[in-house]
Structure 1
Amino acid sequence: MSSPAVLSRRDFTVGGLLLAAGLAAAACGGPPGSPAADRTLRIGQYWPPTSLDPAKAGGESQFFLQPAYDPLIYRAADGSYQPRLATAWRYLGTGNTAFEITLRDGVTFSDGTPLTAEGLKASIEHFRRSAGQAAAFLAPIATMTVPGPLVLRLALHQPHPLLPSLFTQDFLAGDVISPAGAASPAGLATGTAGAGPYVLLPGETVANDHYTYGPNPKYWNPAGRFYDKITVKVLPNENTALAALKTGQVDVVAGSYAIAGGARAAGFAIASSPAIVMGLQLNDRAGTLCPPLADVRVRQALNFAVDRAKITTALLGEYGIPVDQPSAPGEDGFLEQPFYGHDPGKARQLLAAAGHAGGFALPVVIPSTPAFPGDLAQAIASDLQQVGVTLRITAKDPASANTELTRFPASSMGWGVLPAYFMGRGLWLKDAIGMNPFRSSDPELESLDRRAAAADDAARPALDRQIIRRVVELGWFLPVCLSPGLLFYRDTVGVDPVPGQPFPSVASWHPAARA
């Protein structure tokens, strides 16, 4: 079967053979042999979902949402974009300020209502009203019009170059909610109202413990459903999760490098995906709480002081990648050449030039959660101490750590890998949501962002690299390592990961043929 990677993410249309092609693609993803006798997929997941409402959920809810919600556009394992609930999408004109989506005909939600452009409009409006991670990325939409029963047009008040990406399963906004669900959002927190291959079974579900999904009898593409049932078990202790995998209680576990050795020794398959850039955020860039941070030379000195390779190897072993930038290999903005080598001598020179040869104290708040290991903060502190900077670490529960960012000049950095456009709106633009607590601004960075947002696909990668380079030069962050997402699974499951790419959707996993 030929690769769809040549399809443009910007403008995609399909003809009358779409449904047949979609069914063939589903068949290509299925097991090469006859299905296994046990048609239940059992998944272990560290975090319970924050909500089952896609508009309010976070990234940790993906495994709980993907079985029940088909996205508009499907990001395949190889990174290509493929039709799902949308059969065509395109930008209108130039400048990325108008976008059109054409929907698949004949799709019915699990509650029996048909998929229409008016229903999609209601779903997007629900996302915009909610406080979830997708709301900020939908903010540029000014108006939505319906020129036909299956066509929705978006007019934007500012350029948005990545709407096709936003409407995939990766950003949740692509998970279309039925009109009835959007009209009664309270029920979405504990139920499902999608057009995906499965539906949540409330009678077989216990919140925060396990979630069970059965077939959606109204699913438009039953050939693309590979299991009779999916269960997602919350297993907050990784050693317990590994034990459950060994005893066959679960087939797949999402975990960390802490159990990678044990999983490998037990003979399980391991899939790795670049997931989170970890380090510190130097939030107080004007020196309000910590005056030395107002000088770019000081922020750069902190970056030169850290031995990223040593820390990454010690904490993550073969699964980590040292990085000095908030990007990752494969992203358009990624810089191939490091900007900051490990150079304590240069760090001391910069500190002395800035008037801080004697060093200074830097308070930092980190969350008390395995998601940000205390060992990382301690390792950074050890390197900074070598150049005279004392890192004063305060650990708080995650909720407090996130709400008290304006009380600390620095905080933990644990940001999912995203294109530069999305990261800007979360991390470094003046109006960035949540992670720019002191509202820092840089005219050059803001100008580059505006140019990149309006650029076409050919021009944007170079602008993205300029954006990332400017962020790195400013020293607003102290990235250390790219921490992987890891899946450990039995040989009965076909996950089909692609190295360097995010994991395929749970809905595409299938029984594996066994010799």
Structure 2
Amino acid sequence: MSTASLGGTLPARLTEAAVPDRPGLSRRRFAATATVLASGLTLTACSGGAGSAGSATSHSTLRIGQFWPPVSLDPAKAGGESLFYLNPAYDPLIHRAADGSLRPRLATSWRYLGKGNTAFEIKLRAGVTFSDGAPLDAEAVERNIAYFKQAAGQAAAFLAPVAKVEALDEHTVHLALSQPHPQLPALFTQDYFAGNLISPRALADPGGLARRTYGAGPYMLAPAETVAGDHYTYVPNPRYWNAKDRRYDRIVIKVLPNENTALAALKTGQVDVISGSYAIASGAARAGLKVASSPNIVMGIQLNDRAGKLCPPLRDVRVRQALNHAVDRQKITKALLGAYGTPTDQPAVPGQDGHNDTVFYPHDPVKAKQLLAAAGHADGFTLPVVVPSTPAFPGEIAQAIAADLEKVGVRMRITAKDPAGAAQEITKYPASTMGWGALPVYFMGRGLWLRDAVGMNPFHSSDPELERLDRQAAAADEKTRSGLDRDIVRRVVEQAWFLPVCLSPVFLFHRDSVRIEAVRDRPFPSVVDWRPAAGPGA
């Protein structure tokens, strides 16, 4: 995402400083070559020898290497990097399966009432208790929604339209909305945190939520076996409602802040699964490890100053379109990502919500110069851009874009700041780097391009046609909304508020002792869906 993140408010921890991502879709994942070098790493295998990359390991313990520790274990305040840490302990109301389908979990059914997407009903599973013994009932859902709304975390903005929560009976909840919201089923999955229900007893004193877990999931954190910032151990929740479907006896997540060290630990069998970036993908494949990728991180430049307050040329749509035509997306994508990247000029992923099957901005420097001349900038101009000072992908892509813009007379002046500083000073620069996870169009609008979008529209740019299409799509049924979502993405692209270059993957690397049913172009399945490749739990 950009230096000002969607992250604290979007599901994929979309921001570098705050959030996001969907599921784990943050730019931080690309800081693979940077940050802290872990020295003297030793992980104790729970059972079985290390063996080769293809050898079987114990089914009793799933060992995961993760680049970042959780910002918080509180689902209402966590970011995308916390997904691995939260999913074992917190069952969602609705489960998003690997193929993208939505399936019952703590909720057995759900539906919109009437037309217009302004009333929603949830039926809860009977007989469920949280790990601390509190019952799951309609009142627990009501208290959770109230807590998530006031916690100012990732889900808060997307719950804002929920005006009233009413318990019709012990296991039936009715939501009344102040405005249409077509994505409540997606919001209540594990991807967006709001569905990860917390025990109402814990909500009475939420101070402990950052360090312990109080969910209704298959596992719970074992504080005595956990060292914050180093490793997190999860043991079975004895009250779990679906214990027969639990895959492992224990889950251990080890923080490995250098991905080359993480890859070495994976090769030797000290861990079973790691997340990582394109930088180690080839090495993992050569070692015989399984490589799963999901190309849904949109990388490029945000042209934030659409009114031209800091950089007057940007107020002209022809100038913004010229910048898009000037960039050779194929060349940049191949140079930076090789076979793992996909060139793109739109914020939607092929095969997903809102994608248009067309190329809007083919590489055409001649047309770029013509548009600049028609807008009165035949001699070009200077475009200041702020980037986070990490030796990671956003900085590389900014340099590559700058080289192409120079050829049409636009001089990109890049200023590098620490990630927090870049986020805080985004309104002092007309443009910034972007690297955010592709989401349903309704969510992207509220995080990226509507007038009051959180983080990614720092100058509060507004387009009446875009706002109209959004209102229409929000109230539409699913079939009608599909076409409107494509219209919304097309309008965003035609306005050229962004300069996307490529879809960069997020990766999981794992040994063949673990079965992860990842579906290309879909977010990865929840940790609780991973299973031993053979033996008990397979």
The answer to whether TM tops 0.5 is yes
**CA distance in structure 2 between the partners assigned to 1:319 and 1:182 by the alignment:** 43
Q: What residue identity is the alignment partner of 2:470?
A: D
**CA distance in structure 2 between the partners assigned to 1:224 and 1:373 by the alignment:** 40
**CA distance in structure 2 between the partners assigned to 1:44 and 1:159 by the alignment:** 40
**CA distance in structure 1 between the partners assigned to 2:510 and 2:394 by the alignment:** 24
Superposition map of 1:452-467 within 5 A: 452-467=473-488
Q: What residue identity is the alignment partner of 1:168?
A: T
**CA distance in structure 2 between the partners assigned to 1:370 and 1:181 by the alignment:** 40
Matched, 1:138 2:159: yes
**CA distance in structure 1 between the partners assigned to 2:165 and 2:502 by the alignment:** 41
**CA distance in structure 1 between the partners assigned to 2:303 and 2:528 by the alignment:** 39
* Partner-residue secondary structure (3-state), 1:373: helix
**CA distance in structure 2 between the partners assigned to 1:478 and 1:132 by the alignment:** 28
- The equivalent residue for 2:426 is 405
**CA distance in structure 2 between the partners assigned to 1:158 and 1:459 by the alignment:** 18
Out of 469, 472, 480, the residue aligned to residue 448 of structure 1 is 469
- The equivalent residue for 1:95 is 116
- The equivalent residue for 1:501 is 522
**CA distance in structure 1 between the partners assigned to 2:529 and 2:219 by the alignment:** 12
Conserved? CA contact 1:274–1:417, under 8 Å: no
Conserved? CA contact 2:300–2:394, under 8 Å: no
**CA distance in structure 1 between the partners assigned to 2:351 and 2:325 by the alignment:** 24
Out of 339, 357, 376, the residue aligned to residue 360 of structure 2 is 339
Q: Give the drift of 1:200.
A: 0.4
Conserved? CA contact 2:299–2:394, under 8 Å: no
**CA distance in structure 2 between the partners assigned to 1:484 and 1:37 by the alignment:** 29
**CA distance in structure 2 between the partners assigned to 1:207 and 1:189 by the alignment:** 11
* Partner-residue secondary structure (3-state), 1:267: coil
- The equivalent residue for 2:411 is 390
- State the Cα deviation string for residues 137-164 of structure 1 (Å, max 9, x = none): 0000111111100111100000000100
**CA distance in structure 1 between the partners assigned to 2:289 and 2:417 by the alignment:** 35
* Partner-residue secondary structure (3-state), 2:427: helix
Q: Give the drift of 1:370.
A: 5.2
- State the Cα deviation string for residues 320-354 of structure 1 (Å, max 9, x = none): 11110111012231011110000000000000111
Q: What residue identity is the alignment partner of 1:48?
A: P
Matched, 1:438 2:459: yes
Q: What residue identity is the alignment partner of 1:167?
A: F
- Unaligned stretches of 5+ residues in structure 1: 1-34
**CA distance in structure 1 between the partners assigned to 2:420 and 2:195 by the alignment:** 27
Conserved? CA contact 1:44–1:232, under 8 Å: yes
Matched, 1:172 2:186: no
Q: Give the drift of 1:37.
A: 4.1
* More deviation, 373-382/155-164: 373-382
**CA distance in structure 2 between the partners assigned to 1:184 and 1:341 by the alignment:** 56
- State the Cα deviation string for residues 481-515 of structure 1 (Å, max 9, x = none): 11111000001101111122111100111111289
- The equivalent residue for 2:511 is 490
* Residues matched between the structures, number: 481
Out of 229, 236, 241, the residue aligned to residue 220 of structure 1 is 241
* Partner-residue secondary structure (3-state), 2:191: helix
**CA distance in structure 2 between the partners assigned to 1:183 and 1:224 by the alignment:** 30
- The equivalent residue for 2:287 is 266
**CA distance in structure 1 between the partners assigned to 2:523 and 2:496 by the alignment:** 28
* More deviation, 220-229/392-401: 392-401
Out of 129, 136, 141, the residue aligned to residue 120 of structure 1 is 141
Superposition map of 1:123-202 within 5 A: 123-202=144-223
Conserved? CA contact 1:224–1:508, under 8 Å: no
- Unaligned stretches of 5+ residues in structure 2: 1-55
CA change 1:81–1:370 in 2 (3 A) is: farther
* Partner-residue secondary structure (3-state), 2:144: helix
- Percent identity at matched positions? 70
Matched, 1:251 2:282: no
TM-score, scaled to structure 1: 0.92
**CA distance in structure 1 between the partners assigned to 2:455 and 2:162 by the alignment:** 21
Conserved? CA contact 1:333–1:420, under 8 Å: yes
Instruction: Give the alignment's Cα RMSD to 1 decimal.
Output: 1.3
**CA distance in structure 1 between the partners assigned to 2:471 and 2:245 by the alignment:** 40
CA change 1:393–1:297 in 2 (3 A) is: same
Out of 325, 330, 335, the residue aligned to residue 314 of structure 1 is 335
CA change 1:37–1:298 in 2 (3 A) is: closer
**CA distance in structure 1 between the partners assigned to 2:258 and 2:400 by the alignment:** 24
* Partner-residue secondary structure (3-state), 1:431: coil
**CA distance in structure 2 between the partners assigned to 1:274 and 1:124 by the alignment:** 32
CA change 1:475–1:37 in 2 (3 A) is: closer
Q: Give the drift of 1:369.
A: 3.0
* Partner-residue secondary structure (3-state), 1:458: helix
Greater relative contact order structure (CA < 8 Å, 6+ sep): 2
Conserved? CA contact 1:276–1:417, under 8 Å: yes
* Partner-residue secondary structure (3-state), 1:169: coil
- The equivalent residue for 1:17 is none
**CA distance in structure 2 between the partners assigned to 1:161 and 1:184 by the alignment:** 32
Out of 473, 483, 490, the residue aligned to residue 469 of structure 1 is 490
Matched, 1:354 2:375: yes
Conserved? CA contact 1:280–1:413, under 8 Å: yes
**CA distance in structure 1 between the partners assigned to 2:376 and 2:125 by the alignment:** 64
**CA distance in structure 1 between the partners assigned to 2:299 and 2:460 by the alignment:** 21
Out of 32, 42, 61, the residue aligned to residue 82 of structure 2 is 61
Matched, 1:429 2:456: no
Matched, 1:479 2:500: yes
Conserved? CA contact 2:394–2:433, under 8 Å: no
- The equivalent residue for 1:48 is 69
